[in-house]
Amino acid sequence: MATLNGALPWRLALLISFLCLPGSTRAWAQAPVQAPAQAPVQPPIQESRTQQEERVPYVGLDVYASTPSFPKNAALADALGLATTNMPGRGVGFTVTGHVYPLSWRWLTLGVGGNVHMSRAHSGPTTVQGEKTGSDVNLRFTAYSAQMSVNFGHAGGWSHLSGGYGTSTFAYSVDGARLDQTSPRRKTINYGAGARWYTRDHLGFGFDLRFYMLEPQGATATAKALPRTTFVVFSAGVSFK
């Protein structure tokens, strides 16, 4: 045949040349490339704020055991008819303080509340060479006051400076005889500082150091005149929020 003995037809030669091109067979054999599947986008997880990031709570309550230092000055001892060595020194009691904290700006918070303190102290006669000297003395101190506080910190713990104004009573008895029959209320200013720390959401530990300044008391038919008196009270215990 002419086609077998002579040159190949030009269309067949073109087809053979195309199939022999480098990579042509691979291009025909390869499957289409698919784009890799993308993992679904997860929404960002919002972590809860820690106590160190939160403001001071709106309400706080402190219940503390107290150890007051009763004054042993000569003016008060003379008014009671006692020697200064026979005056009680440190006593025991408790303090309850409640505050609300309506205003806060960054680490500064203002508080408004009240304070109740009750305590007592006792001293007995001393024995020297088998003889008793002195008297059996009991003192009781009770104070009620409104307070304002400036607080520094966050919900995990904060310190405070506070002051208040109210009334107090100072009752006393010597050898079982009560020297005042009415315990007149005396205007009283208190001021002090302290701090709280919270290891749980609503329960913590705190302390407070406070000064109570009682105005002088004039003599009445049922009570002696008493000079200006200052009590120093250290308290510590549990705090709630």
Domain boundaries, the chain: 71-240
Question: For the chain, how many residues are written?
Answer: 241
The position carrying tokens 């549990």 is: 238
Closest alpha carbon to 104 in 169, 163, 60, 46: 60
CB 125 within 8 A of CB 136: yes
Question: Exposed, middle or buried: residue 34 (CB in 10 Å: 0-12, 13-18, 19+)?
Answer: exposed
Each of the 241 residues of the chain gets a pLDDT tens digit; together they read 444 444 455 555 554 554 444 444 444 444 455 655 565 666 554 445 566 668 899 999 999 999 999 888 888 888 888 888 888 888 999 999 999 999 998 889 999 999 999 999 988 877 766 677 777 888 899 999 999 999 999 999 999 999 999 999 988 888 877 766 667 889 999 999 999 999 888 999 999 999 999 998 887 777 778 889 899 999 999 999 9
List the one residue out of 237, 238, 230, 239 whose CA is nearest residue 68.
Answer: 230
Question: Do β-strands 137-154 and 131-133 pair in parallel, antiparallel, or remain unpaired?
Answer: unpaired
Instruction: Name residue 59's beta-bridge partners.
Output: 100
Identify residue 66 by its one-letter amino acid code.
S
| Cα–Cα dist 160/26, whole Å | 81
Residue 216 and residue 184 in contact, taking contact as beta carbons nearer than 8 Å? no
The secondary element (H helix, E strand) that includes residue 141 is: strand 137-154
pTM of the model: 0.73
Q: What angle do CA 91, 137, 216 make, to 5 degrees?
A: 75
Domain 71-240 classification at class level = mainly beta
